Amino acid sequence: MIMGFTKDEIKTNLLGTLEMALLMPQGPARFDNSMSAMFRSFWLVILVMPFTYYAISLMQPATPQIAELSFMLVAFMFTVKIAIATVLTILISYGFARHYERLEFFCATISALNWSGLINAVLFLPAVLMVGFGNFVWDDVYGYLVFLMLYGYLVTGFILTYTMRIPWELGGFLAICFMAVNQTSIDVMYWIASQL
């Protein structure tokens, strides 16, 4: 067992993640709808954190709001931002699922969303490595990063649509809500950083 997952679960979930990346409807259906699987899926968030910290270390000098702060403080701020944004998106998902009587799909939804973090991590990796090796600066890869962000929210809307079994308009609306939570939390973090 790895991170509480059996080899078969990892294989099934990775296949589901690949299918979600390709917007294949059977992808979200592969995720277990149990509370245990949902909680274990948060290991994926932790798994990509070192990569996130590396990207932050490269981004920090190019970001005026945080350029003068210590890396440890910036890493802590991003960790808190990620935790708050995650809790808020889970609460939004739960409130939506409860209101629209889709609670029976809630655990699979959160599991699929957590596993989908691997999609952006894998697609983001080449840009981060190119910046890290000095081939490019952040401004050079900015367009690619914006594309990845939009693609990530498209996948999120897709996952919400197929796991909660809702119309795509509602899945898209929830994805936009998640984007607003994420962007607002970044703005608040930068505002706090500017006050330090």
**pLDDT per position as a tens digit, 97-108:** 999 999 999 999
Contacts of 145 (CB under 8 A, 6+ apart): 124, 127
Integer angstrom CA distances of residue 5 from 17, 65, 121, 162: 15, 40, 20, 23
- Which sequence spans correspond to the domains of the chain? 7-195
> Please, which pLDDT band fits residue 138 given cuts at 50, 70 and 90?
confident
What's the predicted TM-score (pTM) here?
0.92
DSSP annotation of 22: T
Residue 109: HSE in the Cβ half-sphere, 13 Å Cα cutoff:
27
Sign of the torsion formed by the C-alpha atoms of 32, 148, 135 and 65: negative
